[in-house]
Structures are given as structure tokens and as C-alpha cells.
Structure 1
Amino acid sequence: MKKILVATFLSLFLSIPLVQAQHSVARDWNEELLNAIRGDFARPTVHARNLFHSAIAMYDAWAIFNNNAETVFLGKTYANYTCTFDGITTPSDVAAAQHETISYAMYRLLSHRFANSPGATTSLASFQTLFESYGYDVNFTSTDYSSGSYAALGNYLADEIITFGLQDGSNEQNGYANEHYQPVNSPLILELYEDNDNINPNKWQPLAFSVFIDQSGNPFPTNIPAFLSPEWGEVIPFALKADDLEIINEGFDCYVYNDPGEPVYIQESNEDGIDDPYKWHFALVSLWSSHLDPADDTMIDISPGAIGNLSTTAFPETFEEYKAFYDIFQGGDPSTGRNLNPVTNLPYEPQMVKRSDYARVLAEFWADGPDSETPPGHWFTIMNYVSDHPMTEKRWNGFGPILDDLQWDVKSYLALGGAMHDAAINTWGVKGYYDFVRPISAIRYMAAKGQSSDASLPSYDPHGLPLIPNYIELIETGDPLAGDNDENVGKLKVYAWKGPDYIDDPTQDIAGVDWILASRWWPYQRGTFVTPPFAGYVSGHSTFSRAAAEVLTLLTGDEYFPGGMGTFDIPQDNFLVFEKGPSAPFTLQWATYRDASDQTSLSRIWGGIHPPIDDIRGRIIGEKIGVEAFYKANQYFSGFLTTDEFQATTTKVYPVPFTNQITIQAENNQLSKVELFSIDGRQLLTETINSTQKTINLPNLQTGMYFLKAFGTNGNVLLQTKVLKN
């Protein structure tokens, strides 16, 4: 069972030989946090915040003893909250002081955050066991660090982060409950299979269960789960920019960063059928469901030599581009794979796998359940195993000195945690505002309406499903689904995964694929879960994963997994939770972090959770978030920039990005000096100028981000900004 495999995930992931070495104290506490998340309710927003706030605590507890770094929170005004810090005695043993401060901060913070978790008994005991294994005293709770106590400093830092969290917009003090949002639609009662034609088909619909078990395997306290975090856009972010924020009132103030624009709404025109983008997007989800039958012998090559390597400029924008990007009949995207592994300089070996096994495994592997660390935590797990790989050199952004384990971990966690936190804020702000429908509601709604392709045929309705031969058809007399009295004649049927009604024992049963009543279509999920309890648009998995892929690419300085390929072994008949499978063992493989991210996105379509419109716009937002979070974190690491970048309106730099030359121009000022810094704060160039414009040759710089300063004749800073070299 996957439940067993997830518990041993730490030894299986990437299927690589690991260096057996003692982890840093930051890594120890991150593992504790991930285990606590697995025992908590599946709340991606809440846990992205927990991961980020923990990363701040550990980073600041390290940075306060580092001469080059700036703290994020301690001794700073962060957003609207000031955390005072009066300084502390310089330690004779810096490493010991960092260890003690981190441990007290994390023990107090995590004990607070998971006090009411369904797994609290286990998690709190585990926190204490680790804490006491270091020789620390759980009864020491003082926050008065004036005597030079690093334990008290850790307690103080945790206390300040806890207090900050009670006013950061998350509504933590009320269990993160919604304050304003109300669903438009009444719940879909899953057990009754009633017609779902009396809803707004563009809006999210709650689901009613006899028993709801969330994605982490926890029974939920209500059988109609509320929309999770529709007001999360109000939470204080890390690197999201005020210029990218819109506050839009849709019954309540919705905080929407990087607004992707409207999803696709259902059209009213006659006989549009599959030409209606809404119907195409949701019909595609139904068609991909037909790929989930191990009796289907269709084989595909899932090696990095055949899939992956999508161009970052290849994301579709128009409806025609969406239709070209996603293969509605065969599944997948237009990626072509790579010819060679850049590390071994050998071709990637083909790996032929049943499409049905691949699609089913993807749906469950990336769903992160049960025993889930949720999508943000899943990428922390990947980060940890990249760090453990014997071929990983811990050089920040791929160059400079090799960092010790603690410095690498606290910096990695802050960059990745900031990205995951911002992705949650951005994504759920969009979800709360657009409140867009999920496939189970949309497909069952259209099925109840009829068909929209041909007004001359039975059951025509402009809001019906499009007819697609061999996949979506009308039921005729004599059809096995017609019913004893032909009561289903004229209704719609779909060729799809048959659903949880056909599974009594998931360790032995397989639902398979067949013609079913379209009004009984199911996503490929457990019957006690079905679909996450929040709107679909945009996909959290796509946003989180793309943001994480960008961070991992930047912090390692390499888009590829160590060794040129990351892998995860899938055993036969002992991985799937929803049903028995897969039918044969195989290995998930990814050349790059972006390839893994793109695979995550496709998994949610095969899983019946998202249509393509949710996916692509999530990827686009995630890419922006990942890059911005990484470079924001680097501002703190270097101590170079700790506030928003400054650029005088009359001073500019071009071209942006640059190749081998960069020009600085000050229209109304005389330039006196230009300085260029690496992202870790090393000064790479200083050049004296006596003009209003200067072109500098920089042919030997490697591709990446740099910091640029330009000064006027009186020493004032005219320009301070980030520049990218192609």
C-alpha cells in the first residue's frame, strides 16, 4: 500500500545512493515539521505558511550571528509588524549558539502551530524527543535574552513569530476559518446521483459526503467541507509585489496578485459543442479518464528521452493553442524529451510503460495522499533529497564557495519556503475571487442538461456535453445502459473510469474503464475524498510545483537533477491507494525540476481534478513567483538589498536582460561610479565614470542574476536594481 511507501519515502525518493552523514539542526527540524504536516489536516495554505515561518525562524537564528547576512524578521519591521531586537553577546562558539537558538525557536513555534492537530499527540511528543535529545530543557520558557541566553533568544523569536501570525491575515486565532466567503451553489450530494442541472456552472460547488476523509487520510469534522482559505490572498506575503496586487470586491474584498484573468465560462450559443472552450476543457478531463484501465495495452515511453523539455515560451494562450498543446485523445503535452543526459553524455534509455499505469501512478504520486506533506511540503522533501545527493555541491546558485550544511539548509528553506508561501497566497486569492467550478460539478451539470452538438438529436441543450464518438455519446434503445424500461434512453454516457462504486477492497479491486452514465462521472480519487474542498482555478499543484522548480534550478545553479535524472521506483500492485496497481513495476523519471513540475500539472488532469485552463495559468504564475522569491531571499543572504529595489525615474539600464554589454544612462544626473555584485553579495566590478551614460563590457559573466548600483557625483545612489544576463 502507498501508505506504507510514503512512510519510507525518505529512503526511496530519487533512488540514489545517499551520503550517510549527520544532518544540520535545521534539517532535523524541517523533517519534524514535514512529519507533523503528514499527520495534520491537508491544508496546503496553512502548511505553506508553517514551512515559511519556520524557515524565517531558522534563517534568522543563523543570520543574527553572521556578519554578511541580514535577518528577515528579527530586529526588523516586517510588513506592519516590528520585531524589536536589542542585540546579544557575541558567542564564543557561534555554531553552538545557532543550534540552541534554532532549536528553542522551532520547538516553541511548532508546538504552538500543531497543538490542535489531529496528530498532535504524536507530533508534540516527537518535537520534545528531538529537543531533549540535544540536551535542552523544555521547562525553560524565558524570553529575556538580555543576559546573553541563546535559549531565551530562541523563545523570544518564536514568540514574536507566533504573535505576528495572529495578525497576518490568516485568521489563525479562529482556526483559519472563513470570515466572508459564501458558496453560490448548494452541495452536490454524492450518494444520491441526483441531476446536477440546477447550479451556476461557472462557480464552485461544495460536496456532501456520508464520510469525508481528507487528502491526508484524516476524518473531517463536517461532511460538507467548507471552501479552504478563499480569503488567503490577504495573508502577508514574502516577495509578492504591491504593484501586482488588485483588491477586488466580489461580496468581500478579494486580494488578487498577478491576476490571470477570467477562466473559460460556459457559452450560450447554439450547437457550439466541442467548439465551446468550456466544454472542450472539461470534456478533455473526461476523455483522459478513459486512459485509466490496465486492460488497455497502450504503451508509452516515459523516459526523459521521450517526454519533458517543454519550452518555457510554449505555454498556450489562445483556444487554438490549448488544443494543440494538450492531446485530447491520447493524453500528454507536446514535449519531445532530450537526446542526452548532460552528466553522463549518454542517451536516456527508453522506458516503455502502460499509459494506464503511468497515468494512475501520476495521479496518486503527485496528489500527496494519504500521509501527505501537501504539495508545498512535497517539494521540501525533494529539496532535502537533492541536498543529500552525493553529486550535489552546495555552492549557492552553482558557484562560489561550498557552503556548510546549516548555511545551505537555512538559505534553501527560506528561498523555497518564501516561494511556497507566496504561491499559496497568490493561488488561493485567485481561487477565492474567481470561485471556479471543478470537473465533477461541471461534467455532471452538462450531463444532466444533455448534449450541445446537434439540435436535431435528442436531449439537446446549449449547456450540454459535446458529443465525441467513442467517448461521449447518446444512449439508445438496446444499449446496456438503457435501463430495464429504457429510462436512460436519450441521456448521455461517457467512456471513463468507472469510479469508487466498483471498488470494495482497494488492495485487490480495479474499477477499470467502461461506458457509464455521464451523470455518474468520477475523478480518479477515493470516494471519501473526490475533489479538494476549494475552487479549481488556478491549480495549486501547478503553481506550487512551477515555483519550486524555479527555486531549485536557481539555488543549485542547474536545471537538472543531480546526475542528470531524478527517479522514483514504483512497485507492482503495491503503490496505488484508490485501487490495485500498477500492473507492472516502473520508475518515474525526470531530467529537470521543470520536467517534474510539468508532470505534476498533467497528473491533476488525469486525476480528474483540473481542466487545462486551471493548469497553464498556474504554471505561469508559479514561474514568476519562484524567480522573485529566490532573488528576494538573496537580498537577505548578501545584506546587499533588504528593501525594495530603488530605481530613479531618470536613470535606466538597458538592454534588459543583457548579453555581453550593459548601458547605464542618467538623463538628468552625472554618473560617478557603477558597481556590480553577485547574488551572494560579492563585488564583481567597480568602475569610475564621469558622464551621463556608460556602456560596460561584461563578456565573462555567466548566465544569471546580478545586483547593479549606479552613483551620482555627490555619492547619492541613482539606481539600485537587479539585472539578468542571458
Structure 2
Amino acid sequence: MRLFFRSICRLFCVVGICLLSFNAPLNAQDHTVARKWMEELLHSIRNDLARPTVHARNLFHLSAAMYDAWAFFDDTAEPYLLGKTVNGFTCNTESLKAFDKSRANLDEVISHAAYTILDKRFQKAERYANLSFRYRRLMEDLEFRGPTNLRDMSSGESWALGNFIGQCYIDYGWKDGSNELDSYANKFYQPVNQPIAPQLPGNPRITDLNRWQQIELEVFVGQSGFESGEMQPFLSPEWGNVYPFALTAKDRVRKKRDGSSFWVYNDPGAPPRFDDFENGGHEFYKWNFEMVSIWSAHLSPWDNVMWDISPASIGNGSALPNNWNDYPNYYKRLEGGDGSRGHELNPSTGLPYEPNLVPRGDYTRVLAEFWADGPDSETPPGHWFTILNYVSDHPQLVKKFKGEGEVLNDLEWDVKSYFMLGGAMHDAAISAWSIKGFYDYIRPISAIRGVADLGQAVSPSFPNYDERSFGLEPEYVEVVLPGDALARTNNTAVDKIKLKAWRGPSYISDLTNTQAGVGWILAEDWWPYQRPTFVTPPFAGYVSGHSTFSRAAAEVLTMFTGDEFFPGGMGEFIARKNQFLVFEEGPSVDVKLQWATYRDASDQTSLSRIWGGIHPPVDDIPGRKIGVKVGTKAFAFAEKFFNGTVPDSFGLSKLSVTVAPNPVARGEVLNIQVFENIEEMQITLIDANGGVVEDVTITNSNNSVQLETEGLAAGIYVLRLNNGAVGETIRFIIR
């Protein structure tokens, strides 16, 4: 089935200031050069494959490069990569001694650095020709020299310095563990389940109800509108190998699964397992995925439920749950939402927030679509850059760092805020996807259908009873009885689980004039609130990337601006009646999404993924908590660069290696396991006298090497390993 999408006109307002479209800059002629290049990156992301990890890295690298260009000319600030050794990679600035700063044009330096990065990073994009044209046109509009690869510092030309900075980030990116040279392909991850075909009933091919499952579609349409007939692989399950920004070795642990090793950052521990019948995991597993199906019943505007969605009623959330037992007290399982208290007054006006009554089903559908970013996606990290841009444009914003001191000029504000937010988004991606890759947790469509296929746990007196399946939740989860409209011919569906839920894409005959609505469906036919050509993101659920990205961004914006509230006390997005929703008619009225604080917006993001059928609560809460850690740490680390208090060398400076057995008996094999990036690894074996016994360069995508000890004399030896960026030396004994 092929869908043709309407254009979406987005309107973002912040207390009386309505800014047309998240997708285009306002008064671009008034924006800084850094802002203009950031807008180009956001446009490029919308016109590329939707890869949150890859684009979080792109956002960080562009932000850092522009910041480095600015910092090079500042008397106090220190660059991030320029002139530094980061994670073993050195951006050598010896040649910069010949550069005459007094002749330089900072805007031109930034522009050539930005151009170099964007043009290289999007060379394989399907729409590269259009993107490259835009980059060149911006250079012409700025009246700068056309693109060139020349980096001769002695020329004193601004473009040479910009090219040099940009190329440093390109070179660093080739060695940062992302596997960019092989198009970010996975090296060892393999799914354990056969794929699910959502257009068919149930989930008969799944074998492990704890693990992720690919989606088999005739045509897959990604969030940026690209079609593919190929099954989508897990995106970035090995992203824990990528070098972070502020995260350190203390933030990660090494874990093994299925014979492979994973770096896991900010490890939250395992999610509930379907087969954990002794420690409460099984019941909590069912509670989570049942709640996703229950919230799916909130997606109709015709159920006569009206909500006040103003900051007076929604926002100012309570403390996050500390353990599984606390979850039922945090979420409103049946009616939807959480127990947030709202805000009594707008701190900017001193007045109460005005009521904002809308049908719950319109609010939930708009929420799910808005935070999913729609078919023209800048992905979640890019979405928060867009929010930052519009905060920066607000006339009531005073551009003081942390709300203190002197007012920053627009360029300093932009490069510093981008650098902080970019670092946080990059670390959020590394944390969340390192967890996704290792725990490999199941998505709701796989779990709900797979559990329902087992039978019913409503009553042991009914046939098809299986205590492992879903139990009774009156009006939401029940069993099909004879005479039920779902019983089918010859009662073939009797005793199956039925759910009151969004009915799915088969009920939508016209994207602009019909909607699926909510009603009773067989659990084997349950769909998330997503397009039938997308269904669910191509990576594991636990933990929620949206929750991690959004909470990290909210923390950064709160600390950077020195105010937890949006400028003017409220941010607002208007979804117009019957214009905003993409794959069904709606909303039935104009819906204004409103947030008092950045954290309120973040919390709303997290809930949207439950209503959208993408995440259960257990994916959400750990993501939010990790986001707080990541955002806070990124802010503190970035501030050190502003103050000029960072060393010349930092990062993950050593390889993590195990050598076993040690001691090793002569004639036995010595196993060398490297838990870093070894596209190319030099291994030098040195004897007790300092003599080189063997010196080889290897390529081994499995990160494992075996050393034959037969023929070597007993004694003490040293292994020296180096992957071109970082190294390690290990002593071992042959007996």
C-alpha cells in the first residue's frame, strides 16, 4: 500500500509570537551565519534517511566545528577539537602558527568549516545534488569564495582555516567508532527473531518475546519519506562503540550477549522479561504492554472526553518512579496521562494560564504525530535544535548565559548553545542506542500480538486459556464470546483476546476525509498509531530515544537560558483543524499544544510515544532519567571550554582489552579481546629484553585476535596494541 502525503504547514508560537513553520528560518537575513548553516543541516536531515544516531552526531560535529572557529578568535574560550587530542585523535595546529588572525573573516571561517562537513556527510544522500546546490548557493549569498579543498595556512585566508577545521572533523569521524566509511553498517549484530508481517494477523514467527523483531513490509517509507523495498536492519545497535562528548569510561560497562561484546552507557539494568515468573518481571511486562493497548483507545475525538491541555492542568510533573512498583502511581492507566499538577501562574505575566479545552482524542493524536516529527523528519535531536532556534528568536528572551552576566551577541549565543545541545544530543544517542543494542528489547506490536497468540488469561473456564497471556481489563481487554461481532464465521475467533483500540489503517479509505476511529478489534490485528508503511522504528524499544533526547535537551535549555520556562512563560504549537494529521483525517478542531517549561515539553514527548504505540512505560522512565544525567554532564563539560579550563588531551584515552588466559601455558592460544574500534589494529609482541618478536597489522571486525604461543620461550612478554587513535600495553606470562 502506498501513501501520498499532504504538505504540512506548521505554526509554532511562543506567547503571542507566531513563527511560521518549524521547517524554515524566520527573517533569515537577520540570522547569524551559524544559524544559517544549522538551518541547512536541519533541511538536509529532513531530506535524508531518518537516522537519529547519525544525525545527532552530525548536529554535534557541525556545532562543535562552528564553535571551534569562534573559539579560535576568542581570548578566553578553548576549542573542542582544533589544537586538541580527543580520544587519541589529534587535530594538529602546528601550521596555524602562520595564520594571521587580524585579517580573518570569522563568518567565512565558520562557513567553510560548515560547508566541508555538510558536503562530505551528505554525499551519499539520495538528494545530494539538491543539498549540494543549496550549500553552494548559501556560500554565494554570503559572498564568500566558492568551495575549495585548499588548507594552506600561510595564505592567511579565512577559507583555508575553515577548510582545515572542517577536515579535522571529517578525519576524526572516520576513527570515532561510527563506521562511517562503511555507511554506518552493523559489524556483528544479528536479530534472533524472524520478522513480523503486520498486514497479516498475529505474530506467529516470533520465538523470543523479549527480543526485537524486524518489520516485513512490501514498501517501507521512512520518516523522511524515502521508500525502500528492503527490510530495514536494526539502526546502530553497536553505537556504544562511538566516541562520546562528555561521557567517560566511568559511565559505561562492558556486557556480553550471544558471543558479542557491547559497551553500555548509563546502564539502567534489564527491562522486565516475559519469562521471568519468579521476580515479577512477567506481570510487569504484561502491565506495560497492556497499557499501550489501553491508551490506544484514547485516539478517538468522538468519545465525549474533553481535556484542559493548558499548562494550568498539564505539566509540572511529579518525581519519576524509582522502581517497578511505583509505575502504576505515576501513570493514569485507564484515562491516560500522568499525575502532573500543572502551574498556578504564568511567571512572565503573573496571571493564571487560560483554559484550553479540546477532545482528548484530538490531543493524543496530534501529540503522537507532532513529536514523531511526521514524514519530513529532522529526527528528535534535530527537533530540539528547531525548538532552540525559535526560543532564540523570541523577543522576550534575554541572551545571557545561564541568565547571568553580560548579554551575549547573537553569534556567541548561537555557537555556544549549539555546542552544548549538540554534545548532549550526541551523548544521548550513544547512551540510548548502546542500551537498545545490548538489551535488544521488543516493541509493542510484536509483544501485544505475540502474547495474544498464546491464548487468553481472562478466565480458566474459557477455552484457549493460557496464564501467560493478557487478563481481563473491563471495557479495554476482554475475550471474544459467541455472538460477538468479532466472532467470525463458524466462531473461529471465539475465545481470542479482543482490545478496545485504534482500529488501524485498514479502516482508512481516504487519508483526508476518513479516520480509523476506536473500537473493538482482535488483539492479533493491533496496530500502533503509525503509517502502515512505517509501523514502528527499525530498532529496539528499550530505552526510549525520544525520552532520552528530549529530557537531555530540556536540561540543557533550562541551564543555558537560566530559566526553566519558555520565554514569555509558554510555548505553543497550533495544529489546524483537518490539516495537521498525516495518515487520517483530523484533528476535528484546532489543537494548541502548550508547554510552560522545557521539561513539560519533554514529558509530553515521552507520553506521546505511549499513545503512538511505540513505547511502553518501561522504555520511557529510564530514558528520562538518563536524559537528565546526559544533559547535566554535557552542560558542565561544555562550560569548561567556554571558561578555557580544559586540557589539551581528553576523552577515552586507552583501549579496553582483555588477554586470557594470563599466565598462558606454552603451546596454548592466547585470546585477545578488544572492546573498541579496530578497523585496523597494529599488534606488537615484545619480549623481556625489549626485542620485537612480531609486529603485524590486522583487520578484524570481530574485535577478537588469537596469538599462538607455540615456539615462544617461557617468560614475560608485552603486547602493544594501537588502532591509530588510542593504544594499550599489556604484560602477560608464558609458562
Please give the root-mean-square deviation of Cα atoms over the aligned residues, in Å: 2.0
Distance 2:221 2:338 in 1: 32
Give the AA of the match of 2:290. A
Change (3 A) 1:195 1:70: closer
Change (3 A) 1:342 1:139: closer
Is the contact between residue 475 and residue 492 of structure 1 (CA under 8 Å) also seen in structure 2?
A: yes
Is the contact between residue 195 and residue 205 of structure 2 (CA under 8 Å) also seen in structure 1?
A: no
- Residue aligning to 2:17: 16
- Residue aligning to 2:447: 442
Give the AA of the match of 2:428. A
Is the contact between residue 71 and residue 636 of structure 1 (CA under 8 Å) also seen in structure 2?
A: yes
Is the contact between residue 197 and residue 449 of structure 1 (CA under 8 Å) also seen in structure 2?
A: no
Distance 1:568 1:642 in 2: 43
1:89 is aligned to 2:108: no
Give the AA of the match of 2:563. D
- Residue aligning to 1:561: 566
Distance 2:574 2:542 in 1: 31
Give the AA of the match of 1:225. Q
Is the contact between residue 423 and residue 543 of structure 1 (CA under 8 Å) also seen in structure 2?
A: yes
Give the stretch that moved more between structures: 135-144 or 69-78.
135-144
Deviation (angstroms), 1:136 = 2.2
Matches within 5 A, 1:95-134: 97-134=105-142
Selected match of 1:510 from 515, 522, 531 = 515
Give the AA of the match of 1:214. G
- Residue aligning to 1:285: 292
1:32 is aligned to 2:40: yes
Question: What are structure 1's unaligned runs of at least 5 residues?
Answer: 647-726
Q: Deviations over 1:553-590 (max 9, x none)?
A: 00000000000000011110000012110000121100
Q: Secondary structure at the match of 1:276?
A: helix
Distance 1:120 1:13 in 2: 34
1:340 is aligned to 2:345: yes
Distance 1:143 1:389 in 2: 38
Is the contact between residue 268 and residue 463 of structure 1 (CA under 8 Å) also seen in structure 2?
A: no
Distance 1:14 1:224 in 2: 44
- Residue aligning to 1:56: 64
Q: Deviations over 1:59-94 (max 9, x none)?
A: 00110011100010011001120000023534336x
- Residue aligning to 1:42: 50
1:490 is aligned to 2:481: no
Selected match of 2:210 from 202, 211, 214 = 202
Q: Secondary structure at the match of 1:255?
A: strand
Give the stretch that moved more between structures: 529-538 or 130-139.
130-139
Give the AA of the match of 1:252. S
Change (3 A) 1:400 1:2: farther
Give the stretch that moved more between structures: 139-148 or 249-258.
139-148
Selected match of 2:238 from 231, 238, 241 = 231
Matches within 5 A, 1:591-630: 591-630=596-635
Is the contact between residue 636 and residue 642 of structure 1 (CA under 8 Å) also seen in structure 2?
A: no
Change (3 A) 1:269 1:194: same
Change (3 A) 1:402 1:165: same
Is the contact between residue 57 and residue 158 of structure 1 (CA under 8 Å) also seen in structure 2?
A: yes
Deviation (angstroms), 1:355 = 0.5
Selected match of 1:253 from 261, 264, 270 = 261
Percent identity over the alignment is: 53
Distance 2:322 2:147 in 1: 58
1:298 is aligned to 2:305: yes
Distance 1:644 1:141 in 2: 27
Q: Deviations over 1:259-303 (max 9, x none)?
A: 000111114649x9x981000000000000000112211001100
1:547 is aligned to 2:552: yes
TM-score by length of structure 1 reads 0.85
Question: What are structure 2's unaligned runs of at least 5 residues?
Answer: 20-25, 652-735
Distance 1:356 1:643 in 2: 54
Distance 1:319 1:142 in 2: 58
Deviation (angstroms), 1:193 = 2.1
Is the contact between residue 451 and residue 464 of structure 1 (CA under 8 Å) also seen in structure 2?
A: yes
Q: Deviations over 1:331-383 (max 9, x none)?
A: 00010101000110000111111100000000000001211100000000000
Q: Secondary structure at the match of 2:8?
A: helix
Distance 2:544 2:127 in 1: 27
Q: Secondary structure at the match of 2:579?
A: coil
Give the AA of the match of 2:8. L
Q: Secondary structure at the match of 2:263?
A: strand
Distance 2:464 2:577 in 1: 44
Q: Secondary structure at the match of 2:594?
A: strand
Deviation (angstroms), 1:409 = 0.4
- Residue aligning to 1:161: 169
Matches within 5 A, 1:359-378: 359-378=364-383
- Residue aligning to 1:310: 317
Give the stretch that moved more between structures: 59-68 or 140-149.
140-149
Q: Secondary structure at the match of 1:5?
A: coil
Q: Secondary structure at the match of 1:350?
A: coil
- Residue aligning to 2:483: 478
Is the contact between residue 85 and residue 650 of structure 2 (CA under 8 Å) also seen in structure 1?
A: no
1:66 is aligned to 2:71: no
Q: Deviations over 1:599-619 (max 9, x none)?
A: 000000000000000000000
Q: Deviations over 1:492-550 (max 9, x none)?
A: 11110000111132111100011111100000000000000000000000000000000
Change (3 A) 1:14 1:536: farther
- Residue aligning to 1:455: 460
Give the AA of the match of 1:91. K
1:410 is aligned to 2:415: yes
1:5 is aligned to 2:18: no
- Residue aligning to 1:190: 198
Give the AA of the match of 1:137. R
Deviation (angstroms), 1:460 = 1.5
- Equivalent residues, number: 637
Deviation (angstroms), 1:134 = 1.7
Give the AA of the match of 1:636. F
- Residue aligning to 1:655: none
Change (3 A) 1:269 1:432: closer
Is the contact between residue 14 and residue 567 of structure 2 (CA under 8 Å) also seen in structure 1?
A: no
Give the AA of the match of 1:67. D
Is the contact between residue 366 and residue 591 of structure 2 (CA under 8 Å) also seen in structure 1?
A: no
Q: Deviations over 1:447-469 (max 9, x none)?
A: 10112343333221132122211
Distance 1:227 1:356 in 2: 32
Give the AA of the match of 2:621. I
Change (3 A) 1:2 1:400: farther
Distance 2:364 2:135 in 1: 37
Is the contact between residue 113 and residue 164 of structure 2 (CA under 8 Å) also seen in structure 1?
A: yes
- Residue aligning to 1:262: 270
Q: Secondary structure at the match of 1:633?
A: helix
Give the AA of the match of 1:402. V
- Residue aligning to 2:335: 330
- Residue aligning to 1:356: 361
Is the contact between residue 5 and residue 575 of structure 1 (CA under 8 Å) also seen in structure 2?
A: yes
Q: Secondary structure at the match of 1:467?
A: coil
Deviation (angstroms), 1:97 = 2.0
Distance 2:16 2:260 in 1: 48
Distance 1:534 1:139 in 2: 37
Q: Secondary structure at the match of 1:493?
A: strand
Distance 1:197 1:231 in 2: 25
Selected match of 1:393 from 389, 398, 407 = 398
Is the contact between residue 73 and residue 83 of structure 1 (CA under 8 Å) also seen in structure 2?
A: yes
Give the AA of the match of 1:4. S
- Residue aligning to 1:703: none
Change (3 A) 1:29 1:602: same
Give the AA of the match of 1:92. S
Deviation (angstroms), 1:641 = 3.5
Q: Secondary structure at the match of 2:355?
A: coil
Is the contact between residue 287 and residue 329 of structure 1 (CA under 8 Å) also seen in structure 2?
A: yes
